[in-house]
Structure 1
Amino acid sequence: MEKIMTIGSLLRKFRLNEEKTQREWIGDIVSPSYYSKVEKDIHRISAEDLVSLLNYNSVSLLDFFGELNSSKQSKYNQERELMTVISDAYYRNSKNELLKLKEFVSKSDLPNKETDLLYLDAYIANVNNEDLNDIEKKALKDQIFSRPNFDKSKLVLYCNFMMFYDLESNLLITRRIIKQFQGSNDVKTLAIILSVIGNLLIQCIEENEYDATHFLIMAADQIDTKPELFFYKNGILLLKNMIEYHYKAEDKYLDICRIAIENFSLLGMPEYGKELERFFKKQNG
């Protein structure tokens, strides 16, 4: 059986072909101990570091992923690896990397090439603060609705693309997600679910659909607070108390909102805190 190639094993192959030691290959981009584990597939390298490594060693991104695609058996594995790199580039707001990845996908024969290009277009539009056209929105929407269940990667995609959906669609999809993952103990999955709930609470507040928030808050409250989930829980604390103030107009809810906003600044995220403060003031005068 042909061995499935991973990003770590492919980096090792390219390095050995260049007859370089690990230290020669990585320069000052990552630590030797960390990179050693990347080649062994113990650690996953970020898209930023991967692109830096390839540039440092004059390896084309297209050639690298093209090599990963050389085995028919490995195409699905390549697609999983590629989506991880795409997500990482998106979270770092790297338009140039997303465009390079789109160029590669457009020239590839990946099993889900058209879907991958649709996702890339949505990521790029979001980075550019642009909207998708109606045809692209419908195609993206159909991709989500056509899946009877979500895995973690599709959950991340949906969370990132929620802004392209109307409120009714987001409520329907989120109910399905909450039902599917009810009782999950996987912290990463719970973090994504809390992100989805937070995004949808914001949309409900912006569209003045407060009655639609009750099941979302109940679902968020059922997820136990853990250190890894504090960021998400704190954001939902803010939104929850904004909603409480809408119904009861008591100053104590505004006080809790201000504490939640301040928490982000105290934890080293002042810009995010300011963004939430602007949202808070916009909704509460």
Structure 2
Amino acid sequence: MKIGKRLKNTRKYLGLTQAQFSSGIVTESFYSRVENGRSNISMSKLIELLNYHHVSLYDFFEPAFEGNIEQQAILAFIDRDCERLKDYKPMNERQEAVVDLMISILGGWKGSSSYSHEPTALTDYLKHSENPEKNIFAWCLLAYLCEIDEVATVVDKVVLALPVYSDDFSWRILVNTLITCLQRFYQAGMQAQALITAQLIDAIPPRSVLVLEHLVAKYYLNLLQGNQDQAAGIRRLLQVNNYDRLLAFTD
């Protein structure tokens, strides 16, 4: 189910007109286009709308937190490749909801810590999920969506999960979740936490599938330690290989 259709269903459930639901957060005409699939709403405006109407992120995106999604889509998301995600063909409405959420995050998230979630995405997830540790991709999503003061909890959960998994795919998800946490700390000016997280990633034993993640961690380590020339060199290396999008949320 597309985000516009999901918004429409939520609005009708609340018994509101489009003008009432848009609430001045976005214009009524823009909101109408979103519902009809002709415009895309940013993640920040979506969260603002949901907060205003006291709709939790968990209730809105429940399939994303509990459902499974194929590796192809997850890899596109952790590679931050929005075009690959848009080309992905979901097999059912549950997968479609997850892909919509991932595209919204990549299209609208800038690492901001200014959103006020009540209740928060992390609290929502922990409250509703009986076994949150089993869905490691949910932590990958929550690293983007939770409050900045909850990011440390995500880091702790990932650190606990790392010894449990041995396959490369799970490790890519978990380490990329740490990368997102690192970038959110850095964006928020929390340099001590960012440095600890970068050192944590850098200390992870090398795996061929984690080469990019280690490069990104070294980029931030050099930035945080004042080694601007080394950081610039790593950035150029990522740019040459078209992977500088992995640093996009810091720019």
Shorter-chain TM-score bucket reads 0.5 to 0.7
Identity %: 11
Aligned match of 1:55: none
User: CA separation in 1, counterparts of 2:165 and 2:207?
Assistant: 14
User: CA separation in 2, counterparts of 1:184 and 1:124?
Assistant: 27
Aligned match of 1:273: 244
SS of the equivalent of 1:262 reads: helix
Aligned match of 2:234: 260
Once the 2 structures are TM-superposed, how far is the Cα of residue 257 of structure 1 from its aligned partner? 0.3
Q: Is 1:143 the counterpart of 2:117 in the alignment?
A: no
User: CA separation in 2, counterparts of 1:97 and 1:83?
Assistant: 10
Q: Is 1:129 the counterpart of 2:108 in the alignment?
A: yes
User: CA separation in 1, counterparts of 2:166 and 2:87?
Assistant: 36
Once the 2 structures are TM-superposed, how far is the Cα of residue 275 of structure 1 from its aligned partner? 7.2
CA contact (8 A) 2:223 2:231 kept: yes
Once the 2 structures are TM-superposed, how far is the Cα of residue 138 of structure 1 from its aligned partner? 4.1
What is the CA deviation profile of residues 223-275 of structure 1, one whole-angstrom value per residue up to 9, with x for unaligned ones?
11232211110001001111112xxxxxxx11210121122134x22xx3377
Give the TM-score, by structure 2 length: 0.54
Between 1:221-230 and 1:167-176, the stretch displaced more is 221-230
Q: Which has the larger radius of gyration?
A: 1
Residue segments in structure 2 that go unaligned for 5+ positions in a row: 1-66
Provide closer, same or farther for how the CA distance between residues 139 and 244 of structure 1 changes in structure 2, counting only shifts above 3 A.
closer
User: CA separation in 2, counterparts of 1:125 and 1:172?
Assistant: 23
* 189, 202, 207: which one aligns with 2:170: 189
User: CA separation in 1, counterparts of 2:174 and 2:182?
Assistant: 12
Residue segments in structure 1 that go unaligned for 5+ positions in a row: 1-78, 106-112, 246-252
Q: Is 1:236 the counterpart of 2:217 in the alignment?
A: yes
Provide closer, same or farther for how the CA distance between residues 161 and 255 of structure 1 changes in structure 2, counting only shifts above 3 A.
same
Provide closer, same or farther for how the CA distance between residues 258 and 172 of structure 1 changes in structure 2, counting only shifts above 3 A.
same
* 201, 210, 224: which one aligns with 1:220: 201
Write out aligned runs for 1:52-91 (5 A).
Answer: 80=68, 82-84=69-71, 87=74, 91=81
Aligned match of 1:71: none
User: CA separation in 1, counterparts of 2:144 and 2:154?
Assistant: 13
Aligned match of 2:27: none
The answer to which structure, 1 or 2, has the higher relative contact order (CA under 8 A, 6+ apart) is 2
CA contact (8 A) 2:122 2:146 kept: no
Provide closer, same or farther for how the CA distance between residues 277 and 193 of structure 1 changes in structure 2, counting only shifts above 3 A.
closer
User: CA separation in 2, counterparts of 1:275 and 1:193?
Assistant: 15
User: CA separation in 1, counterparts of 2:170 and 2:185?
Assistant: 23
SS of the equivalent of 2:124 reads: helix
Provide closer, same or farther for how the CA distance between residues 276 and 207 of structure 1 changes in structure 2, counting only shifts above 3 A.
same
**Aligned residues: CA RMSD:** 3.8
Give the TM-score, by structure 1 length: 0.49
Aligned match of 1:208: 189
User: CA separation in 1, counterparts of 2:153 and 2:131?
Assistant: 13
CA contact (8 A) 1:89 1:97 kept: no
Q: Is 1:159 the counterpart of 2:140 in the alignment?
A: yes
What is the CA deviation profile of residues 73-98 of structure 1, one whole-angstrom value per residue up to 9, with x for unaligned ones?
xxxxxx64x55565467655344757
User: CA separation in 1, counterparts of 2:149 and 2:223?
Assistant: 21
Provide closer, same or farther for how the CA distance between residues 117 and 161 of structure 1 changes in structure 2, counting only shifts above 3 A.
farther
Give 1:150's aligned amino acid: E
